[in-house]
Amino acid sequence: MNEHTLNVITAKSRADKAINSLKGILQGINIDKKVNSQEINELQKWANEHNDLIQRNPFNEFMEIISQTSLGDIPATELIEDLYWLCQKYEGDNYYYNGLTADLQTLHGICHGVLADGIIEDEEVNRLHDWLNENEHLSTYWPYDELRSLVLSIISDKKIDEEERLVLMAFINQFVDIKDSNIKNTISSQIEDVKISGHCSSRI
């Protein structure tokens, strides 16, 4: 395999993973049907991180839409809808990863979106529970089983207290890399005394 072929394969795998992750981030941001400035900021940082893919479809479209939002030309809710539509449009071209790996990458993205503003709302926990129930084919794969078990235990009494919220935040923080340093530091300070045991970290 020559260097050019290797670069093409590497670029394709990174592009497909980025689309799967973006799809999840968008779902996570919009999971409570609200979009705030911190979440948009995290989305813009995602765009900056993947700026080297801007010459590839559909990243040129992604970056253009996100940049228009930063200029105030597109409302935040419309941005999420447009970007998610683009992700679905190009889903058929996403052939590097099998469906299982793609769905796990989407799950990571959803968790990223949920944590993007450093706050986990009740609605986000409930909708995350719904998504996990609808994707039982991910059972036996990390972090699905541990996350589903944790979320189920949190909502079982139909009341989410602050300790449960922080435990969920600490668990998600194991595999989500928040780009905004202020949000990242806020999360770290909130969960510094939370102990997560019985879960091993891994990345998709």
pLDDT digits (tens, 9 = 90+) for 35-57: 888 998 888 888 888 888 877 77
Count of CB atoms situated within 10 Å of the CB of 62: 25
User: Between helices 144-155 and 122-134, what is the axis angle to 10°?
Assistant: 130
Q: How buried is 12 (Cβ within 10 angstroms: 0-12 exposed, 13-18 middle, 19+ buried)?
A: middle
- Say which range, 34-43, 84-93, 116-125, 165-174, has the weakest mean pLDDT: 84-93
SS3 of 67, please? helix
pLDDT reading at 92 higher than 90: no
Whose CA is closest to 112, among 197, 191, 22, 44? 22
Listed as own residue / partner, the contacts of 77-84 with beta carbons closer than 8 Å and 24 or more positions apart are 77/30, 77/35, 79/35, 79/40, 79/43, 80/26, 80/29, 80/30, 80/35, 83/22, 83/26, 84/23, 84/26, 84/27, 84/30
Q: pLDDT value at position 11?
A: 64
Q: What is the mean pLDDT of residues 159-178?
A: 94
What is the pTM assigned to this prediction?
0.83
- Say which range, 32-36, 56-60, 135-139, has the weakest mean pLDDT: 56-60
Q: pLDDT value at position 10?
A: 53
Contact 65, 71 (CB under 8 A): no
Confidence of residue 16 (pLDDT cuts 50, 70, 90): confident
Confidence of residue 189 (pLDDT cuts 50, 70, 90): very high
Cis peptide before 143 (omega within 30 of 0): yes
Q: pLDDT value at position 14?
A: 81
- Say which range, 3-7, 97-101, 156-160, has the weakest mean pLDDT: 3-7
% of the chain residues with pLDDT over 70: 84
User: Between helices 3-29 and 37-49, what is the axis angle to 10°?
Assistant: 180
Q: What is the mean pLDDT of residues 115-125?
A: 94
Q: pLDDT value at position 9?
A: 43
Type of residue found at 136: E
* Helical segments of the chain, H only: 3-29, 37-49, 59-70, 76-89, 99-115, 122-134, 144-155, 162-173, 181-191
